Amino acid sequence: MKRYHLTTLIWEEDGVYISKCMEIGVTSCGDTPSEALENLREAIDLWLKNAEYLGLLEDIEPSITSSEKFTSVIEVVAS
């Protein structure tokens, strides 16, 4: 069994929490941040099983198996 290290982002939008896996672009939602994260975990699991079946994991494996990730929040003011 392989271990994947994925970056997730959760934000509130109109009373619903949106969760997104940044490496593979899978998105889910929930009524609470915890629910959104759990729903995302299920969606990622399905995505990974499908990607493995289709032979797509090899291309993205370096980005999803690395345990060293760096994230940052920046503000951009557009005119």
Q: Give me the pLDDT at residue 1, please.
A: 79
Instruction: Write down the pTM of the prediction.
Output: 0.86
How far is residue 45's CA from residue 47's CA, in Å, rounded to a whole number? 5
Instruction: Give the whole-angstrom CA distance, residue 40 versus residue 28.
Output: 5
**What is the pLDDT, as a whole number, of residue 61?**
92
The pLDDT, as a whole number, for residue 9 is 96
pLDDT digits (tens, 9 = 90+) for 12-68: 999 999 999 999 999 999 999 999 999 999 999 999 999 999 999 988 999 999 989
* Residue 32, pLDDT score: 98
Helices (H), 10-77: 33-54, 57-65
**Helix, strand, coil share of the chain (percent; to 5):** 40, 20, 40
Q: Which residue has the higher pLDDT, 37 or 71?
A: 37
User: For the CA atoms of 48, 50, 52, 53, what is the dihedral angle to 10 degrees?
Assistant: 160
Tokens of 65: 């198996």
